[in-house]
Amino acid sequence: MTDSAVTRPDPMVTQDNEFFWEAAAHHRLVAQRCTRCHVFRHPPRPRCPHCGSFETDVVELSGRGAVYSWAVLHHPQNPAFDYPVKAALIDLEEGVRIVSNLVGVEPGEIEIGMPVSVIFVPTAGGNAVPVFEAVTR
């Protein structure tokens, strides 16, 4: 199902990241974890950067984390997005660092270490992508 008001582009799905986007479409945040050394592997890739193993499983994450770093993007603008875009690196509580967007927060309100939680926003093709909003304490 598509929504003509939704303009965010669909993710680039590959053989390596298909499990991640399939979970996101169902509003679940997951990551690969090496079954040999148990180190998380994100972004998804065939081989463990820690031990070299090709063995992996997929673990569901809490979606809770904190802002590690962020930047406010003004240009160049793509009509598919609302500007300014708040791009952020989020450290999830399981130890996975993920690139995403912050939503529902003004640039002047963003702080390093700010607690955040995942929500999913729809894409033009009926999928969903994880973004993060501030957790009110």
Q: Which stretch binds Zn ion (CB under 5 A): 33-41, 79-87, 89-97, 125-133?
A: 33-41
Q: Is 37 in the site for Zn ion (CB under 5 A)?
A: yes
Q: Locate the DSSP E strands across 1-137.
A: 30-34, 40-41, 56-60, 64-73, 85-92, 97-103, 115-122, 128-134
Query: In this complex, which beta carbon is closest to Zn ion, that of residue 33 or of residue 86?
Result: 33
Query: Hey, what long-range contacts does 15-21 have (CB within 8 A, 24 or more apart)?
Result: 16/44, 16/45, 16/46, 17/43, 17/44, 19/44, 19/58, 20/44, 21/127
Q: Which stretch binds Zn ion (CB under 5 A): 10-18, 29-37, 102-110, 115-123?
A: 29-37
Q: Is 135 in the site for Zn ion (CB under 5 A)?
A: no
In DSSP terms, 91 is beta-bridged to 66, 97
Q: Is 34 in the site for Zn ion (CB under 5 A)?
A: yes
Q: Is 31 in the site for Zn ion (CB under 5 A)?
A: no
Q: Give the nearest distance from C-beta 47 to Zn ion in angstroms.
A: 9
Q: Is 50 in the site for Zn ion (CB under 5 A)?
A: yes
- Sign of the torsion angle spanned by Cα atoms 126, 89, 42, 40: negative
Task: Restricting to residues 96-115, name those near Zn ion by CB under 5 A.
Answer: none
The residue ranges that bind Zn ion (CB under 5 A) are 34, 36-37, 48, 50-51, 53
